Chain A
Amino acid sequence: MEWDWSFVVQILPTLIEGVKITIIATLLGSVFAAIIGLAIAIVRRSKNRLISMPVGFLAEFIRGTPLLVQLYFIFYVLPDLGITLSPLVAGVIGLGLHYGTYAAEVYRAGIDNVARGQWEAARACNLTTRQTWTQVILPQALPPMIPALANYFIAMFKETPLLSAITVLELMNQARSIANYNYRYIEPITLVGAFFLVISLVSVVGLRWLERRYGKID
């Protein structure tokens, strides 16, 4: 089977429609994961073991099971319990939850890296718990985490083709429907691969920049 450039030109607009959905899902998923991750990290530090233990176990459970099955769970089981979600929303929740548990570990390491003296200084200044977190700890903990978080968001980007399994019309799904309709697999699937490779290589350059800008611990 030969590579056909005119076919490539013909299918490109459809693939670009898929690219848009892929990028939207990644961005929304990243925001959701960043918030969920911070929440998990803070709750796991709670002194009350009745709160921190179940959340810790749940996070371990989500990290130890496949994203695909979690997506099926959200997409197929929740409607039976009365919660109906659109495919894209289900996908964003799945991505956000899954990568949120990874992000939680990054936050945990970042928070642990803030020197003990800073906690003591916050107490000495009579700051409330809330003020301690927002004014003292997080502003110091967050910048060094940025490269590690970005790394996971690139990984999430590469997992977005899984959303095609719950009927989100992202890049992979568009490519598969083109392939099935025309019965030509070589161009669509290869283009999807090339697209992911290009975006990943570009984002690696961006990551290096983030590492230089924020990664230094002085």
Chain B
Amino acid sequence: MGQWAGYLQLILDGAVVTIKLTLMGSALALVMAFLAGLGRLSRFAVFRWLATAYIEFFRGTSIFVQLFWAYFVLPLFGFSLTPLQAGVLALGLNVGAYAAEVVRGAIKSIGKEQYEACIALNFNRWQGLRHVILPQAFVLMLPTFGNNAIELLKASAVVSLISLTDMTFQAQVVRAQTGNTLFPFLTILILYFIMASVISLAIRGLERYLTRGLDGIRS
């Protein structure tokens, strides 16, 4: 067992990279989701087109291709990215496009009477969105955001192929050094599953916190 301790340490170092990547990617995805989701609901056609083009492009091509494009092709246009930057960029933009549709759907599902109430209270569009619409819509978005974050965590394994030393990369290193396959791959499968479970528990907790005192009001 003793010989595995060192290798386990290697995998745990990779786990830190995976967690960092997931957190930073999720932050970027959240920003992009609101930008593009609100953009699709904009009064101005330009914003609607831009948002639609962004969403269709990133949902239409594979995350794998986007990552390779960011890492190998962008430098040819003069943007050199480190593997970590390319990973965060590709993951964040890709998952952000999926989450943008969640933002749009949740906002559109808020009843018409809420918008009428905003007008009755003499709120402008931003105030109505900020104080009335979003607080209700955000609770609806949360469960799907949780799923999106898990998708992002799973997609982050792909960055090992552009030589970023995440968990999957380290497992390959252990496999190459020891020739043992079961130990590294089973270990990281379990670690990924634990991380995914933590995300879904955290989202469920946050949902409970945000809906406290609303029992019986929300159906």
Q: A185–B73 contact, CB under 8 A?
A: yes
Chain A contacts for B60, CB-based, 8 A: 196-197, 200-201, 204
Question: Which of chain B's residues 75-92 have a Cβ closer than 8 Å to chain A?
Answer: 76
A186 vs B172: C-alpha distance in the bound complex, in angstroms?
Answer: 28
Q: B73–A189 contact, CB under 8 A?
A: yes
Indicate whether B59 reaches chain A with its CB closer than 8 angstroms.
yes
Q: B61–A65 contact, CB under 8 A?
A: no
The B interface, classified by DSSP as helix, strand, loop or mixed, is: helix
Indicate whether A23 reaches chain B with its CB closer than 8 angstroms.
no
Q: What sequence of 0s and 1s flags, for each residue 136-167 of chain B, a beta carbon within 8 Å of any chain A beta carbon?
A: 00000000000000100111111011000000
Q: B62–A159 contact, CB under 8 A?
A: yes
Known: A72-B185, A77-B181, A77-B182. A158 touches B62 (CB 8 A): yes
Q: B192–A69 contact, CB under 8 A?
A: yes
Residue among A64, A68, A172 making CB contact with B65, cutoff 8 Å: A172
A70 vs B172: C-alpha distance in the bound complex, in angstroms?
Answer: 13
Q: For residue A191, which residue of chain B has the nearest CB?
A: B65
A77 vs B62: C-alpha distance in the bound complex, in angstroms?
Answer: 27
Indicate whether B49 reaches chain A with its CB closer than 8 angstroms.
no
Chain A contacts for B193, CB-based, 8 A: 61, 64-65
Q: A69–B171 contact, CB under 8 A?
A: yes
Q: B57–A197 contact, CB under 8 A?
A: yes
Known: A196-B65, A200-B60. A76 touches B175 (CB 8 A): yes
A93 to chain B, nearest CB (A): 15
Q: A162–B64 contact, CB under 8 A?
A: yes
Q: A68–B160 contact, CB under 8 A?
A: yes
Chain B contacts for A70, CB-based, 8 A: 189
Q: Which of B73, B188, B192 is the most central at the interface, judged by chain A CB atoms within 10 Å of its CB?
A: B73
Q: B158–A162 contact, CB under 8 A?
A: yes
B86 to chain A, nearest CB (A): 13
A202 to chain B, nearest CB (A): 10
Known: A65-B196, A189-B69. A72 touches B57 (CB 8 A): no
Q: B73–A190 contact, CB under 8 A?
A: yes
Indicate whether A82 reaches chain B with its CB closer than 8 angstroms.
no
A161 vs B162: C-alpha distance in the bound complex, in angstroms?
Answer: 14
Chain A contacts for B63, CB-based, 8 A: 158
Chain B contacts for A67, CB-based, 8 A: 154, 157
Question: Which of chain A's residues 142-201 have a Cβ closer than 8 Å to chain B?
Answer: 158-162, 165, 172, 176, 179, 185-186, 189-190, 192-193, 196-197, 200-201
Q: A68–B157 contact, CB under 8 A?
A: yes
Question: Which of chain A's residues 68-121 have a Cβ closer than 8 Å to chain B?
Answer: 68-70, 72-73, 76-77, 80
Q: B168–A72 contact, CB under 8 A?
A: yes
Chain A contacts for B73, CB-based, 8 A: 185-186, 189-190
Indicate whether A124 reaches chain B with its CB closer than 8 angstroms.
no
Residue among A66, A160, A193, A197 making CB contact with B154, cutoff 8 Å: A66
B152 to chain A, nearest CB (A): 11
- Known: A64-B154, A65-B154; 19 extra A-B contacts, CB below 8 A, are A1-B76, A61-B193, A65-B193, A66-B155, A66-B156, A66-B158, A67-B157, A69-B185, A72-B168, A72-B172, A77-B186, A80-B182, A158-B63, A161-B65, A176-B68, A189-B65, A196-B61, A197-B57, A200-B59
Residues of chain B touching chain A, judged by Cβ–Cβ distance below 8 Å, are 56-57, 59-66, 68-69, 72-73, 76, 150, 153-158, 160-161, 168, 171-172, 175, 181-182, 185-186, 188-189, 192-193, 196-197
